[in-house]
Amino acid sequence: MLKIGEFSTLTGISIHMLRNYDKIGLLKPEQIDCMNNYRFYGEKQIVRANHIQVLKSLGFGLTEISEILKDGTTNDRIKTFLETKIKEKEESFSITERQIAQMHQALNELDMQNEYTLSVSVKQLSSHSVVSLRDIIREFTEEGLLWERLDMSCRANGIRLADVQYCMAMTHSVDYKNKAIDTEVFRVVDQVGPDIVGLRFSKMPETEAAVVAFQGKYSRLGDINRYMYHWIIENGYRISGKAFNIYYISPENEQNPENFVTEICYPIKNNS
């Protein structure tokens, strides 16, 4: 569970707006403490929050977003909303070419039954102080071994981890022929310390990134990465750094892979 302030930071939605979303029923807290009225959100709600941010960035109003995100909404229904909004934007002097291009792309993907339509958001990711462990693994499924080693080393060296509900991983290179996947796993720390044998402290800089939040098995990562690569190119951006994953619900705290919640992040810059 995430406090409203933590959820606000992770999703880029202000606390004031989250309270408004609660009031209109668009995004309600998963739990409210009856003693102090503190609001708590579930990690799975990051996916819905991401969808809301994407639709807002395309110019949809909150009433329209509520309709689009209703359970059981069909692709044809979403297509109607998109076609209507395109016409409205074309008649408005303030419309940007980027928004129109993104909505045309979404229409095409809906026709192809693309499940990732309207899933990419562009947001500013804050900087983090991190400790990491980097090594070569033979299969992506072996990433868990790196997490075990990192956590063991952190405990052995008394490294104080930050009280956050997520962690990160980055693939530096992949050599399928020699079964060599250069992978680095990161834990957020309160402060950067001197490097220790096998561990590295660093500061992950603030960056603008294209992000997809999804719930489900890691076997979907390949398809999502391919989709994001094309989305970035088609929408006038270029990749400016190595992609990384943020894990909110993972094998560390959940046994059912269908419940995993992950964000795939690509640092980007505008081509213009």
- pTM > 0.85: no
The b-or-e profile of 18-52 (16+ CB within 10 A means b, else e) is beebbeeebbebeeeeeeeeebebbbebbbbbbbb
Per-residue pLDDT of the chain (272 residues; tens, 9 = 90+): 899 999 999 999 999 999 999 999 999 999 998 888 899 999 999 999 999 999 999 999 999 999 999 887 788 888 999 999 988 887 776 446 777 778 878 887 777 666 777 789 999 999 999 999 999 999 999 999 999 999 999 999 999 999 998 999 999 999 988 999 999 999 999 989 888 889 999 999 999 999 999 999 999 999 999 999 999 998 889 999 999 999 999 999 999 999 999 999 999 998 87
Residue range 127-204, CATH number = 3.30.70
* Arch. (CATH architecture) of 2-118: Orthogonal Bundle (1.10)
CATH 1.10.1660.10 domain position(s) in the chain: 2-118
Backbone angles phi, psi at 212, to 5 degrees: -120, 125
Structure tokens belonging to residue 30: 């998963």
CATH 3.30.70 domain position(s) in the chain: 127-204
**Contact (CB, 8 A) for 18 and 27:** yes
| Rg of the chain in Å (alpha carbons) | 20
Nearest of 264, 232, 208, 12 to residue 101 by alpha carbon: 232
**Axis crossing angle, helix 4-11 with helix 45-57, rounded to the nearest 10:** 50
Distance between CA atoms of residues 74 and 110, nearest Å: 10
**By CB neighbour count within 10 A (0-12 exposed, 13-18 middle, 19+ buried), where does 206 fall?**
exposed
